[in-house]
Structure 1
């Protein structure tokens, strides 16, 4: 192992939680591995910076983390989003992220004059990646987790942030109440962890008029897989990120790249499989003749309704496009006759006619057998630290209403 295999705290990099600066301290590593509790953002960022400074392996851990799990340098641990169950612990090499730091420097012209911001918790791999990229390259970084969208916008303006990493859900919250407020200093928005609809892209462009808005597809296991550009057709997640080779076999997306994880330190997924040096995580989709990737959804969420394979993500995307700004989650319920039936959950006020309008749309857009049979309203759909809906919590909520 050499220093090139490890993250670095560049001399030019500075880090902030709110207005609190994370200062360098003399770090003496007491072990090769540091567990960093994620509950308090300031302590989490300080612990991360100290681990990097001490050349330790580390894990920014949620409260449920089992401390018997370990990694040795240059490996580190991070987590899957946990959308459909308990998060899995990911083991990966630091060089797998360093390779994409250097690729992003070339791709987006990242320099030490840039100021990066991220809106999520460090336990989420997107925010962890963003902060480590800033630390390694030498950019200032602002962790804006826990702030209301208005306060996040004010911080982005006050600190003249130029680079923003965020999920679509975070971008929706950030831009929805902006009204006449703009974020003119942002020059690049990198959005992952969900579909960036045309309507949300338009909202972001209005609030961030000078930003190049790039959607990327990836996962905790794969890192970057595709990246969009100005020529990407609406609905596609872009073409292969530099260094990535894509293939689709029997409808399943396979990835070869230097950015892949090394395996699960805890938990497992039957959909994650290796073949030679290629990895699939059970994402289903297709490549068009120009190399653009179109996703149908995860194999793990696919359900069978009257002998037809149905991806809940496709129905969620259709509702989001037809009703801009609306959050919709589709949940399958086992059914003895048809295999499954679907329930649509909307985040909306209770006193609107929205459920009726969505019901009519679903019946018109999809076959009666596939269209959700129930449309329910939830005042505040629960989310995971990754910004994705908490499906188990929603399933329990639906069960309580039966």
Structure 2
């Protein structure tokens, strides 16, 4: 049986009719605590891409954002932009997306979260990271002040958010974990929107102490789909919430079983301008990026992991993402990746990689906990510490480089 989750759409306020991003004069741009005024800041550290983004939006021309910065697209129609990213596996993809597909979600967030020009957005990443780009463009479109703290250490970021009296923060679980470790308190925040990874119950508690007055919302999505589901933590443990307003979720499996997640919504991308993905497919207006999950009867979505990362060990399907989330629940672990290795007896075994330095005995203790939680076959056979943990531009584990590092150490 196919299960479908529906999100009730919100009514827009007329902004969607323009189908173009806005960056009005009242949306002031700040980099590392200093305002970047019109006609200045292109030579200031961290400001060049933001100034280029502001200029591209204000002229209404198509633009591209990627590791190389922000540039205009001469052969693309107005009302579209390209987002280029290497991803966790190293495969280059350039996503083509309309302004309207993001504007639709700006209006949903405006209505559901009461966002507006009186807010102050804090952004911790660079525009090449899709989460940071979305936060910057949403904030500007709504006329809010923007504060970029990309490139600063977590303690400096926390101090900057507090000094700016920021009210809205978009961040990944890793970014929030690092902020929590500073011991800071950010009572100015009223909304924290977390995407780009799993939010463990332990981290939720730490974020509540970090931002005691904030409403924390976890959301699930992909660069190709934008928002798919969101929640406030009130659903079953491990779920990412219910369908985002305007989204239909379909699971290709029997009721309650794990299957491929298919999505139909106004927020979908317009295809790849460069590269491709065998996991991304379209059918009857629905799109999948190859992730697996399940819906319960109340419409809560639980994401198991990507199909292309699932491994079979002794006839048991294992999702490395589950083990990564388990290891990241330990405050001593900031970054983690679980990768498969060839095994002459089982076919495959797993190796867990965490960031260093690690205290003596930590690896052994984590392995014991994993064996208790997942069983001796599914648990990682060993745990490796990397002092220089490879990350993508978006702050996610670079699985290709991690696998290469393990090969060199074999």
Q: Which residue of 2 aligns with 1:324?
A: 331
Distance in 2 (alpha carbons) for counterparts of 1:156 and 1:81: 29
Aligned to 2:128: 123
- Is residue 2:38 matched to residue 1:24? yes
Q: Which is bigger in relative contact order (C-alpha 8 A, separation at least 6)? A: 2
CA distance in 1, matches of 2:227, 2:18: 21
Cα 1:65–1:22, aligned 2, differ >3 Å: closer, same or farther?
A: closer
Match among 141, 155, 160 for residue 150 of structure 1: 155
**TM-score (normalised: structure 2):** 0.89
Shift of the 146–65 alpha-carbon distance from structure 1 to 2, 3 Å rule, reads: closer
In 2, the alpha carbon distance for the partners of 1:67 and 1:333 equals: 43
C-alpha root-mean-square deviation of aligned residues, in Å? 2.3
In 2, the alpha carbon distance for the partners of 1:105 and 1:67 equals 28
Of the candidates 60, 65, 76, which is equivalent to residue 71 of structure 1? 76
Change (3 A) 1:337 1:187: same
2: distance between equivalents of 1:259 and 1:292? Answer: 20
Q: 1:188: Cα distance to partner?
A: 0.4
Counterpart check, 1:226 vs 2:229: yes
Identify which range, 105-114 or 334-343, moves more after superposition.
Answer: 334-343
* Deviation sequence 1:11-48 (CA, Å, 0-9, x none): 3211111133233359xxxxxxxxxx9x9630100000
* TM-score when normalising by structure 1: 0.91
Alpha-carbon distance between aligned partners in 2 of 1:340 and 1:116, rounded to the nearest angstrom: 45
Say which of 366, 369, 394 aligns to 1:386. Answer: 394
The equivalent residue for 1:13 is 27
Report deviation, 1:3: 7.5
Tell me, in whole angstroms, the C-alpha distance in 1 between the residues paired with 2:86 and 2:181.
24
How far apart are the structure 1 equivalents of 2:166 and 2:69? 33
Secondary structure in structure 2 of the residue aligned to 1:50: helix
Q: In the aligned structure 1, how far is the partner of 2:236 from the partner of 2:327? A: 19
The residue number in structure 2 matching 1:136 is 141
Q: Could you tell me whether the CA contact under 8 Å between 1:80 and 1:220 is conserved in 2?
A: no
Q: Does 1:358 align with 2:361?
A: no
Aligned runs of 1:106-117 on 2, under 5 Å? 106-117=111-122
Give, in whole Å, the separation in 1 of the partners of 2:200 and 2:353.
Answer: 19
Return the alpha-carbon distance in structure 2 between the equivalents of residues 187 and 64 of structure 1. Answer: 31
Q: Specify whether residues 228 and 172 from structure 1 end up closer, same or farther in structure 2 by C-alpha distance, changes over 3 A only.
A: same
Quick one: structure 1 residues 59 and 40, their matched pair in 2 at CA, closer, same or farther if it must change by over 3 Å? Answer: farther
Q: Match of 1:5, SS?
A: coil
Q: Structure 1: which 5+ residue stretches go unaligned?
A: 27-36
* 1:298 matched residue in structure 2: 306
Q: Which residue of 2 aligns with 1:29?
A: none
Q: Which stretch has the larger CA shift, 323-332 or 162-171?
A: 323-332
Alignment partner, residue 104 of structure 2: 99
Tell whether 2:211 aligns with 1:208. Answer: yes
Which stretch shows the higher mean deviation, 47-56 or 197-206? 197-206
1:191 pairs with 173, 190, 194, which one? 194
Q: How far is the alpha carbon of 1:64 from its aligned partner?
A: 9.8
Are the counterparts in 2 of residues 9 and 136 from structure 1 also a CA contact under 8 Å? yes
How far does residue 345 in structure 1 lie from its aligned partner after superposition?
Answer: 1.0
Match for residue 238 of structure 1 among 237, 241, 250: 241
Quick check: 2:95–2:274 contact (8 Å CA) kept in 1? yes
Question: Residue 88 of structure 1: which of 85, 88, 93 is its match?
Answer: 93
1:168 aligns with 2:173: yes
2:346 alignment counterpart? 338
8 Å contact from structure 1 (residues 81, 124) kept in 2: no
Instruction: Give the secondary structure class of the aligned counterpart of 2:277.
Output: coil
Match of 1:314 in 2: 322
Q: Deviations over 1:81-126 (max 9, x none)?
A: 6012233110011100000011100010002111001101110110
User: In 1, distance between residues paired with 2:74 and 2:323?
Assistant: 38
Q: State the Cα deviation string for residues 326-352 of structure 1 (Å, max 9, x = none).
A: 233101112344231110112243441
Q: Secondary structure at the match of 1:258?
A: coil
Instruction: Give, in whole Å, the separation in 1 of the partners of 2:402 and 2:72.
Output: 29
Contact 1:41 1:122 in 2 (8 A): no
Structure 2 residue ranges without an equivalent (≥5): 1-15, 254-258
Does the CA-based 8 Å contact 2:64-2:71 persist in structure 1? no
Give 1:314 deviation, angstroms: 1.1
Distance in 2 between residues matched to 1:65 and 1:104, nearest whole Å: 25
Change (3 A) 1:140 1:283: same
Q: Tell me how many residue pairs correspond in the alignment.
A: 387
